Amino acid sequence: MNGSGGKLKRETRLPIADSRSFKSETRPLYPQRPTGKWHNRRVVFSIAIITLLFVTPFIRIGGQPLVLFNVIERKIILFGIFIGPQDYWLFGLTMLSFFVFIVLFTTVFGRLWCGWACPQTVFMEMVFRKIEYAIEGDAGKQKLLDKAPWTSDKILKKGLKYTIFLLISFAIANVLLAYVLGTDELCKIIAEPIEDHIGLFSGIVIFTAVFYWNFAWLREQACTVVCPYGRLQSVLLDHNSINVAYDHERGEPRGKLHKGADRTEGDCVSCFQCVAVCPTGIDIRNGTQMECVSCTACIDACDSIMEKVGFQKGLIRYTSENAIVQKTTKIVTPRTWGYAAVLLLLWSALGFVVATRTDTQTTLFRAPGSRYIENTDGTISNLYTFKIFNKTNRIIKPSLHLDAPHGKLLFAGSPDLTLEAAGMSEGTVFVVIPKSALKSRKTVLKLSVSQGNRQLESFESTFIAPEE
Ligand code: SF4
Ligand code: SF4
């Protein structure tokens, strides 16, 4: 017994991401515990993601963290590459590439990220929600418990749940701090007296409170109201994007199943199971909606119903609007080609910037208001001010050299040019060149910065001599 499978079509199609009016429930939501093939796959994937999130800050390459996002001091390390305050090109191109990649990925695969890899969904659905189910039971029991008077059983269950929520929020806050400050700093805060790190400890407390509030109270609203990525879906998705979607061609017109009667409706039996399991409280049958985080719970719920009533599975599945209506899937479209071309250009520029990047960045200018000095030994001097920036996350002991023309550098005093990680040193220096080596009033100086025998950087400046 199969339904009419799309003989009758819906008269109107909803535009992508137009959904606010279809909120089917008011808060708090009580989504039913999801089960099924897709959920099991997500559990395995989530374990991998959570492990990765907790382990990554401890991974080091050549003594450097694999990743560090110290936005406070603008020190970022991505896969061992240090991006300091001087690397505005590298930083800008990395951010731009990341943004274009997100646009391209979303255009093709919809909100795959949200459902499978976003830490908010992973922790909410796979950690906090599971603890809730384990302590309070499935949706119906949770609803009853919330309505019930404050008995010792309710106090125990709520107390236990929120205590565990708080502990996990504390653990997540610590991991976040490890990403921002590095594991060394985090270990210091843990090992040393709190009063020595009161600022950072306050940070952990604030982050714990924010995470606790987010996972205990804000929940799906982080995705549907706060997250800017969710709000961008209306411009990023098109009718070729792969999403969790309801096959309205096959499902409509929906109608209850009546035993023994010939079915004239579509395959949707109006069981509302897809709505019951939805963690954002929407009805996927109303079309692709901004609130959908592609969690796949409705796929499993509907498949289980289809199996029970003897219909083909996949009424809700990963597919595109065009695949449903025109029965064609076109992943590579002119739009995706365009995004891919932009991304390729950006990655090429990024590769060039990384390949030509130097460990130091030096500026050397003639001291303001200074003129050349004619020395009695037949040489000419120019006075310069210089700044050397360390673009790495390690200490550098640089030395400044004059490579051409032949001459020497005379520093004021004996300056210590040692550069702390991402640090800067500055000073003044005389460049002294024999008159015989100067052919014109303006001469290009070739200088370099080295550490030991390794040249870190070369650059040019201008030397002024008297007119012949
Ligand atoms: S679970 Fe499937 S059959 Fe049930 S209401 Fe949703 S789409 Fe229709
Ligand atoms: S509509 Fe389906 S995939 Fe989207 S959030 Fe709800 S249950 Fe998850």
State the distance from the centre of ligand 1 to the C-alpha of 109, rounded, in angstroms: 23
Residue nearest to atom 7 of ligand 1 (CA): 268
| Atom 8 of ligand 2, residue of closest alpha carbon | 295
Ligand nearest to the CA of 301: 1
Can you read off the two tokens belonging to residue 410?
């005379």
Instruction: Find the 118 Cα to ligand 2 centroid distance in Å.
Output: 15
pLDDT at 17: 42
Please name the residue whose Cα sits nearest to atom 4 of ligand 2. Answer: 292
For the chain, the farthest-separated pair of C-alpha atoms sits apart, in whole angstroms, at 116
**Ligand 1: centre distance to CA 328 (Å):** 24
For a mutational test of ligand 1's pocket, the pick from 10, 32, 271, i.e. the residue with the most ligand atoms closer than 8 A to its C-beta, is 271
| Cα 364 to ligand 1 centroid, rounded to whole Å | 71
| Ligand number with the minimum distance to the CA of 306 | 1
For 169, list phi and psi in degrees, rounded to 5.
-60, -40
Q: How remote is the CA of residue 312 from the centroid of ligand 1, in Å?
A: 12
Q: How far apart are CA 468 and CA 461, in angstroms?
A: 21
Query: Does ligand 2 lie within 6 Å of residue 278's CB atom?
Result: yes
> Which amino acid is located at 180 in the chain?
V
Compute φ and ψ for 409, nearest 5 degrees: -110, 130
Q: To 5 degrees, how large is the angle CA 302–CA 306–CA 310? A: 175
- Indicate yes or no: pTM above 0.75: yes
Question: What is the distance between the alpha carbons of residues 221 and 27, in angstroms, rounded to a whole number?
Answer: 10
From the first residue on, what is the mean pLDDT of each consecutive set of 10 residues in the chain (468 residues)?
41 40 64 96 97 94 86 82 82 92 91 94 97 97 96 97 98 94 87 86 94 96 90 85 94 89 90 96 91 95 96 95 88 89 96 91 91 93 94 90 93 85 90 92 94 93 88
Using CA atoms, how far apart are residues 74 and 86, in angstroms rounded to an integer?
A: 9
Give pLDDT, residue 369: 87
Q: Is 244 in the pocket of ligand 2 (CB under 6 A)?
A: yes
C-alpha 301 – ligand 1 centre gap (Å): 8
Of 163, 165, 185, residue with least CA distance to 175: 185
Write out residues with Cβ below 6 Å of ligand 1. 246, 251, 254, 268-274, 285, 301-302, 305, 315-316
**302 pocket-lining for ligand 2 (C-beta < 6 Å):** no
- Ligand 2 pocket residue status of 68, Cβ below 6 Å: no
* Ligand sitting nearest the alpha carbon of 32: 2
Q: Whose CA is nearest to atom 5 of ligand 2?
A: 292
Give backbone dihedrals phi and psi of 341, rounded to 5 degrees, phi first.
-65, -45
> What phi and psi values does residue 55 have, to the nearest 5 degrees?
-90, -35
Place of tokens 């205590």: 163
Q: Ligand 2 center to residue 123 CA distance, Å?
A: 16
Q: Is 224 in the pocket of ligand 2 (CB under 6 A)?
A: no
Q: Is 438 in the pocket of ligand 2 (CB under 6 A)?
A: no
pLDDT of 2 reads 44
Distance CA 312, CA 267 (A): 9
Ligand nearest to the CA of 281: 2
